[in-house]
Amino acid sequence: MNKGVSLKFIGHSTFLIKSPEGKTVLIDPWIQGNPVCPEEARILDNLDLILITHGHGDHMPEAVDLAAKFDPAIACNFEISQWLQGKGVASPVIGMNKGGTTEIEGLRVTMVDARHSSSITEADGTIVYAGEPAGYIVEFENGYRIYHAGDTCVFGDMKLIGEIYRPDLALLPIGDHFTMGPLEASWACRLLDVKKMIPMHYATFPVLTGTPERLRELLDGFDVEVIELAPGQEIIMG
């Protein structure tokens, strides 16, 4: 139980996390089509759990294929759970809603709020409502807690997320345009009172102009470590 949490940044908002007891968690399954994911990071050996924050094509397009290959548990909002089951996913699909907590594969998973849109575009172009977006608090076997904010703006109740769940590490979007940029992310860090954060959802496309450098400038004087990971890079936390 004194082993750390291994976290690999796949790129954009996708992370592959291995728990201290060896459980493998994929947040927002976008790997093969992810333009910034290096080739060596596209190879997965196994998956125990997939977490989906919302329905957009840069966050869950490979959920069905990965479910068929690895048979992981999948946690998502209720609407996406129904869509996945309608696509024939036979893996355990756990439809949740905000504020709910469940234990999956020995990990404590809580769905929290996010402010964004959420939809799924079918192959014929039809747009399907995919429920409300969310973030997750994941508590690992050793008590280490990671907050993945999903796609979101900054919002005042991040202070409650910080006070209730006390995340050790926050994964926050900084790209701007579709999510918060560095300015808003700097306020999110302060509201959460988090000491370590990893920026995500930036530089994948030209429109995502936020940078870790700008975030560091805005956090100058605050006790927050900005951990910048290149796609494919892995780090041990906790």
If DSSP codes are grouped into helix, strand and coil, which group holds residue 57? coil
Residue 4 has, within 13 A of its CA and on its CB side, a CA count of 10
User: Cα angle at 63 between 58 and 67, to 5 degrees?
Assistant: 165
Question: In the structure encoding, which two tokens stand for residue 198, read together?
Answer: 């990893």
The list of the chain residues with pLDDT below 50 reads: 1-2
DSSP H or E run through 199: strand 196-200
Cα–Cα distance measured from residue 154 to residue 142, given in angstroms and rounded to the nearest whole number? 29
Residues 6+ apart with CB under 8 A from 29: 14, 50, 52, 59, 60, 61, 62, 63, 66
Instruction: Name the burial class of residue 143, with classes exposed (0-12), middle (13-18) and buried (19+) by CB atoms within 10 angstroms of its CB.
Output: exposed
pLDDT of residue 3: 78
If DSSP codes are grouped into helix, strand and coil, which group holds residue 78? helix
Cα–Cα distance measured from residue 85 to residue 236, given in angstroms and rounded to the nearest whole number? 34
pLDDT of residue 1: 43
pLDDT, tens digit, 9 for 90 and up, residues 58-68: 999 999 999 99
pLDDT of residue 238: 84
> How many Cβ atoms from other residues are within 10 Å of residue 117's Cβ?
13
